[in-house]
Structure 1
Amino acid sequence: MIPSGRYIQTVILFDRSVDLITPFCSQMCYEGLLDEYFNIEGGRMKIPKNGNTDNASKQYEHISLSTRDDMVIEGIRAMHFTKVFQEIKAYLARQNVLQNDVRDKMQDASISDLKQLVHTDVKGHINAKKQITRHLDLCTDIYEKKKASDFKIQLEMETDILHLHNFEDIVSYIHTMICRCEPNKYRPLQLLCLLSTANNGLTREYYELLCRSYLQAYGYENIPLLYKLEKLNLFHAKRSCDVPIAINTNTPAGFRGDAILKMGKQVAQNLTEKTQTQKTFFHYIAKRLNLTPDLNQQARTTPGPDMADVFGSVYVPLSCRLIEEALLNPAKLSTLQHELLQRGYPGADDLYSHRSSGVSTRAQFHEVQQAILVVFIGGCTQSEINALRMLAMSKCNIKWQFYFAPTNIWTHTRLLKEIEASQ
């Protein structure tokens, strides 16, 4: 049972290993950036107090991001960062109008009315102005930090990775970043993991070049970190097991195992350029589920919330799209899983499974608000949480209320540090 007294109708268990792409995409929604720079813990974050420039004696204040304590955050938490300034300005303009109304009320008010106004309206306006000012300061701080790095170029590189464009330029950019000894050693690792995961690994030549350059730039004490990333299939060289092997269902059952074994050996021995460039698991499923909208698709004719907005309309989180399909069209997801198995993509058998209690009907599903608990096994990002919030807002004819139970909340830096510290 949830706090409102209603029961959870649907529980979704999502394994992080199904989507290793999204955690390594740079977050662009406001709450995701707050988490990246100020580390949100339990709905609260710690920010430096104004006027404290001395790091040794820096003082902090703890800020709650609960909608009960912050009336501004609800409207901007899932918003793309470039739109937050305009939304805060509009909110400030509305507060100024309300403040003028309060001033008019105070002119002819009695003493008891003044007490009531001070206790309710005036106090509310003061708190609202304080929250608006705080968010403006946070936006300015984030903007200055992003401007200090070549963040715009990095976003372009990430977009090319997700859309399978300009592979050579991406490798060159990452290699240059490493050779210049980027101060934050996790930034090139983020791109390396994203590139490797999206392509089912890198060619042996590129993998060894980038590993060697990284160790020379950041020290050979990072060998265990690279080893762990390889074992987790986050940054590794292409292997024969990563190449999809289509299964011929017409082969007699007695000979199918021998046929697969023979085909596997042949692929391992003759890994040609064609097998190197064929569609990876991510690029196949991205096309089938429209995870990377084309430029002409980004201009939507019907304005409204969309899951792709959290990544600037260039990427829909794979995890969120799978959850959407599981709720709306489980038959389509089962068909997709069958296609992936037929094409021989590794890990396709773990993509989707469904169990029903048989209690709720399709009609009830649309008429009553559904409480959906999403359990992210292996953690999730703030962007994924906000993408699902956008999904709930975008479905006018379906009433969804999402509740989240992640085992951890990740940013790409926090995830890499956790992997590095693990035994």
Structure 2
Amino acid sequence: MQNQNLPQFQFDITIHKDFLKHKIIQLFETLPGNKQLILSQRVLQLLKLSIENKVLLENGVKKTLQIETLYQIESDITQIFIIIPPKQDLIKKISKLIKTANGPNNIYQLVFWPQRNLIAKELLEQEGVLSSVEIMDFSFDLIPLDQDVLSLEMPDAFRDVVVEQDFSIYTHVADSINRIQLLMGNIPNIYCKGDGAKMVYDIIKVESSELDQDQDSQEVESLIIYDRSIDLITPMLTQLVYEGLVDEQFGINGNLVSLQKKIFGKEGQEGEQYQTVQMSLDKDPLIYNVRGLQPDKFQRQLQIQIKANSGQEAARIKAEQDSNLRHLNISGKIADNIRTISFYKMLSLEQGIINGDKSDKALDYIEAMIQSEIDLNKVVRLLTLRTLVDGGLKQKPYDYMRREIIHVYGFKTIAFLNNLQKAGMVYKSDPKQLFFKLQESFKLLNLNVRSDETDPKDPAYTYGGHYPLIARLTEKIFEKESWKPFKAQMQLINGFQLEPDRPARLNVPGKKPIVIVYMLGGVTYGEIAALRLLGKQFNKEIIICTTSLTNGTKLIQSLRERI
């Protein structure tokens, strides 16, 4: 499907796709010949995003199995390639499978994604299989999820940093940035906000000195690196644009979302009740017109697109009609969900909190949710928002909420609550209310935003009036090329800050300057939509890179206890 209304990007993700494919092929070439592939569910998803199945077959992969549902290694193919994250449960399971396998001639290549940790080798030795496997590490690098979005797809990055104090993610980020610089030249302007951004910047400078690259980029004007920790409030709010609502309600992994077939009016066979939809412009160009719209408008836009198809060539009509109907079905399910009392109540409480409601309505509702044993992630998400906006919970409500959560959801939640405290998300403190100073200083609240905009321009539209902080900071760079004029406001945001002394401006006739915004710890679809609106306003081509696509529930889930 070709769509003349789609933007044309100068940043060529094809290069990154080809690099990733070549990297995966090289990995499989370390074990020549026919092989069977054993993967974790997460790695299997990444492989689907990175390479076609026919390329796997061409490189000797005759069988692909998922470790979570595997009970025995068949020995019909003796070369066995295993790719898993270094998690204790998976290492123990693969060790058991290797020990009980019948093939004495089996050759095992064990690959840890993104890399082995301290306990991986020790566990293999304890399980008695260390001598049976050849160990390697493998990182997928940046995976293009859309024309303007690339992700390392490391959803545990936030947890690894704030809970485990494992900073290895910053090396992966720096490596990915330096690969971009190798391809496109040194980026003349680098901005950083947040302590994680500083670590990445330091690694970039060390690695850059070792690279054979002395040309400045003529396409990429700026790199802006943000640490998720500078704004944990935005992810806790409900995203109100189409892509964000799909993620909130169904969960997008990479750019793939698994949906029940009955949403599309289909009946699946047993074990086949789900259909996978890919949310990207190259696979589904029609999503471009609706992905950044709120519910009041995206269904109407889809209906307009269906009518507009008349008079076009038959093949294109069929493909576009299928796409429109698919998204109409999805948006219909979303519309049903957002009409529920529970959705409306949660949204109104969120809006009340960021609008300055200092009553106990939110805490009373959280208490009611706990007593009703509502999904703990939803409970904690609202509690986190209340804590962050207030700058902490007072001793009495903090102790009460903690006690009630442990009583209702079990002692296993103690470690989870401790992790939330380590992450600075739910903690006790005398409320400081710094958020409202930040909100006022940066004008992060626009109560006049309309949900029925057909051509929204205000980034606050994406969250129903809340302007995502990273979008506002990016806007300030576009306006002034610096954060220096906003020194007092910037001091309200914790963490390291860096900007060029004399920013260089690219001016290539007929080309938009490319600006790369790199978000450490995850970026939301709402924030992406806000950055896209900024790109239109300032005539910049904004490319979003991140460690993963996230939302409040995903961030909170990453802090839950690991088995």
1:150 equivalent in alignment to 2:362: no
**Residues in 1 aligned to 2:390 and 2:271: alpha-carbon distance in whole angstroms:** 47
**Residues in 2 aligned to 1:135 and 1:411: alpha-carbon distance in whole angstroms:** 21
Deviation by residue 1:64-103 (Cα, 9 ceiling, x = unmatched) = 22223213200111111232111112112212xxx2x36x
Provide the secondary structure at the position in 2 that maps to 1:33. Answer: helix
1:4-43 equivalences in 2 (<5 Å)? 7-43=219-255
Deviation by residue 1:256-293 (Cα, 9 ceiling, x = unmatched) = xxxxxxxxxxxxxxxxxxxx4x6x22211111111112
Which deviates more, 34-43 or 204-213? Answer: 34-43
1:391 equivalent in alignment to 2:534: yes
1:3 equivalent in alignment to 2:12: yes
Provide the secondary structure at the position in 2 that maps to 1:403. Answer: strand
The match for 2:256 is: 44
Contact 1:366/1:399 (8 A) holds in 2 = no
1:360 equivalent in alignment to 2:481: no
**Residues in 1 aligned to 2:372 and 2:456: alpha-carbon distance in whole angstroms:** 42
The match for 1:334 is: 484
- Structure possessing the higher relative contact order (Cα contacts under 8 Å, 6 or more residues apart): 1
Which deviates more, 216-225 or 367-376? Answer: 367-376
- Within the candidate set 273, 278, 291, 1:77 is matched to 291
**Residues in 2 aligned to 1:3 and 1:369: alpha-carbon distance in whole angstroms:** 14
Provide the secondary structure at the position in 1 that maps to 2:229. Answer: helix
Identify if the C-alpha distance between structure 1 residues 329 and 34 changes in structure 2 by more than 3 Å, giving closer, same or farther. same
1:16-415 equivalences in 2 (<5 Å)? 16-50=228-262, 57-95=271-309, 99=310, 101=311, 121-148=313-340, 150-182=342-374, 184-238=375-429, 276=431, 280-295=433-448, 304-312=456-464, 314-331=465-482, 333-338=483-488, 341=491, 348=494, 350=496, 352-355=497-500, 359-360=504-505, 364=507, 368-393=511-536, 395=537, 398-415=538-555
- Using the TM superposition, give the Cα deviation of residue 18 of structure 1 relative to its aligned residue in structure 2, in angstroms: 0.5
**Residues in 2 aligned to 1:158 and 1:18: alpha-carbon distance in whole angstroms:** 19
Provide the secondary structure at the position in 1 that maps to 2:253. Answer: coil
Contact 1:337/1:348 (8 A) holds in 2 = no
**Residues in 1 aligned to 2:223 and 2:298: alpha-carbon distance in whole angstroms:** 32
**Residues in 2 aligned to 1:415 and 1:301: alpha-carbon distance in whole angstroms:** 30
- Using the TM superposition, give the Cα deviation of residue 45 of structure 1 relative to its aligned residue in structure 2, in angstroms: 2.4
**Residues in 2 aligned to 1:180 and 1:187: alpha-carbon distance in whole angstroms:** 12
Contact 2:337/2:343 (8 A) holds in 1 = no
Contact 2:394/2:428 (8 A) holds in 1 = yes
**Residues in 2 aligned to 1:366 and 1:19: alpha-carbon distance in whole angstroms:** 36
**Residues in 2 aligned to 1:307 and 1:293: alpha-carbon distance in whole angstroms:** 10
**Residues in 2 aligned to 1:409 and 1:303: alpha-carbon distance in whole angstroms:** 25
Identify if the C-alpha distance between structure 1 residues 348 and 367 changes in structure 2 by more than 3 Å, giving closer, same or farther. farther
Identify if the C-alpha distance between structure 1 residues 94 and 365 changes in structure 2 by more than 3 Å, giving closer, same or farther. same
- Using the TM superposition, give the Cα deviation of residue 125 of structure 1 relative to its aligned residue in structure 2, in angstroms: 0.4
Amino acid at match of 2:557: K
Contact 1:52/1:58 (8 A) holds in 2 = no
**Residues in 2 aligned to 1:383 and 1:173: alpha-carbon distance in whole angstroms:** 25
Identify if the C-alpha distance between structure 1 residues 356 and 336 changes in structure 2 by more than 3 Å, giving closer, same or farther. closer
More helix by share: 1
Provide the secondary structure at the position in 2 that maps to 1:408. Answer: coil
User: Structure 1: which 5+ residue stretches go unaligned?
Assistant: 103-120, 240-275
Deviation by residue 1:380-421 (Cα, 9 ceiling, x = unmatched) = 11111111112222x1xx311111111011122211111114
Amino acid at match of 1:337: K
Provide the secondary structure at the position in 2 that maps to 1:150. Answer: helix
Deviation by residue 1:37-78 (Cα, 9 ceiling, x = unmatched) = 333233232323346667952343332222232132001111
Provide the secondary structure at the position in 1 that maps to 2:427. Answer: coil
Contact 1:368/1:399 (8 A) holds in 2 = no
Deviation by residue 1:187-208 (Cα, 9 ceiling, x = unmatched) = 1110000110111111111111
More strand by share: 2
Identify if the C-alpha distance between structure 1 residues 194 and 49 changes in structure 2 by more than 3 Å, giving closer, same or farther. same
TM-score, structure 2 normalization: 0.57
% identical aligned pairs: 22
Provide the secondary structure at the position in 1 that maps to 2:543. Answer: strand
Identify if the C-alpha distance between structure 1 residues 72 and 340 changes in structure 2 by more than 3 Å, giving closer, same or farther. closer
**Residues in 2 aligned to 1:18 and 1:29: alpha-carbon distance in whole angstroms:** 23
Identify if the C-alpha distance between structure 1 residues 379 and 303 changes in structure 2 by more than 3 Å, giving closer, same or farther. closer
**Residues in 2 aligned to 1:165 and 1:185: alpha-carbon distance in whole angstroms:** 24
Deviation by residue 1:163-218 (Cα, 9 ceiling, x = unmatched) = 11143112112112212221x11111100001101111111111112112222221
Amino acid at match of 1:2: F
Aligned length: 349
Amino acid at match of 2:434: F
Amino acid at match of 2:530: A
Identify if the C-alpha distance between structure 1 residues 21 and 306 changes in structure 2 by more than 3 Å, giving closer, same or farther. same
- Using the TM superposition, give the Cα deviation of residue 13 of structure 1 relative to its aligned residue in structure 2, in angstroms: 0.3
Amino acid at match of 2:376: K
